[in-house]
Amino acid sequence: MGDPQPSPAAAGPPVFEERLTGLFAPDVFTTAFPLVLGGGFLIGVGWWIAGALAMALGLFCVAFFRNPPREIPGDAHTVVSPADGKVILAEEVELADGQKAQRIGIFLSVFNVHVNRAPVAGRIVSVDRSGDKYLAAFNPEAQTRNVQLAMELETAGGARVGVVQITGLIARRIVWQPDVGEWLTRGVRYGLIRFGSRTDVILPPATELSVAVGDRVAGGSSILARLPEGMA
């Protein structure tokens, strides 16, 4: 059974149109290509060391902004990973409002794909920017103190699912492309974080987790959990 889609009626939410569709995120043209071209020029004029360093950094940026296609598994109740990386948190937590939730934290090293995907299908009901620090993303305090963007989705079944893009020690820019009120399909690419960072998913307390701390996951293709029946 496929994921539910918003009603085509006028009252239905507009569907977000994915823009991160190429093999590389658009940032590759403003960061990687200038470095590669500049490195080639420096080598051409005899500045071998500087040129080689610039080209190496440029090629690293090409790899960093890669955007591979992924096959989205499961059905509407399947929660897929919003990012590539290592699971550093997978447990029940108490939110600021006192409610219980399941939280999964994923650390993205500079070698991971940094394009973010929607873990479930749902309508964006709110977006909140907070934080003022740039601690290492694996630092537990980064969860609350780092610059971050928290998006809350409401599924067709009424479940509320949060996705939090958290900056890291090197990451300084969060890219978020949709608008509040738009519908995200499960696995759709909606943004990215530039360089090492963290992405968390906040799920209803009755959600059954499928990952544990230490697991490696891939955005869009790894299954993190399963929503309770009737909540997708």
Give a yes or no: residue 41 inside a domain.
yes
pLDDT, position 171 = 65
Give a yes or no: residue 1 inside a domain.
no
**54 and 97 inside one domain:** no
Q: Which residue, among 174, 180, 175, has the nearest Cα to 154 in the 3D structure?
A: 180
- Look at residue 8 and tell me whether its pLDDT is greater than 50: no
**60 and 161 inside one domain:** no
pLDDT, position 12 = 80
Tens digits of per-residue pLDDT, 132-163? Answer: 888 887 788 888 888 999 999 999 999 999 99
DSSP code, position 222: S
pLDDT, position 9 = 43
Domain's final residue, options 64, 87, 115:
64
Tens digits of per-residue pLDDT, 87-114? Answer: 999 999 998 888 899 999 999 998 999 9
Give a yes or no: residue 72 inside a domain.
no
Phi, psi (rounded to 5 degrees) for 28: -60, -30
pLDDT, position 180 = 97
Domain's final residue, options 11, 39, 64:
64
* CATH classification of the domain holding 156: 2.70.70.10
In this structure, are strands 85-94 and 216-217 parallel, antiparallel, or unpaired? antiparallel
Active site residue 109: no
Tens digits of per-residue pLDDT, 35-92? Answer: 999 999 999 999 999 999 999 999 999 999 999 999 999 999 999 999 999 999 999 9
From 7, 81, 109, 197, active-site residue: 197
**145 and 197 inside one domain:** yes
Give a yes or no: residue 70 inside a domain.
no
Please, what is the angle between helix 32-44 and helix 48-64, to 10°?
160
- Look at residue 173 and tell me whether its pLDDT is greater than 90: no
**45 and 130 inside one domain:** no
**85 and 151 inside one domain:** yes
Give a yes or no: residue 150 inside a domain.
yes
Give a yes or no: residue 94 inside a domain.
yes
- What proportion of the chain, given as a percentage, has pLDDT over 90? 74
pLDDT, position 220 = 96
Give a yes or no: residue 59 inside a domain.
yes
- What is the extent of the structural domain holding 183? 78-226
**83 and 49 inside one domain:** no
**133 and 33 inside one domain:** no
- Look at residue 192 and tell me whether its pLDDT is greater than 50: yes
- If you average pLDDT over residues 215-222, what whole number do you get? 98
Q: Which residue, among 151, 103, 91, has the nearest Cα to 123 in the 3D structure?
A: 151
**93 and 183 inside one domain:** yes
Q: Which residue, among 169, 191, 185, 62, has the nearest Cα to 115 in the 3D structure?
A: 191
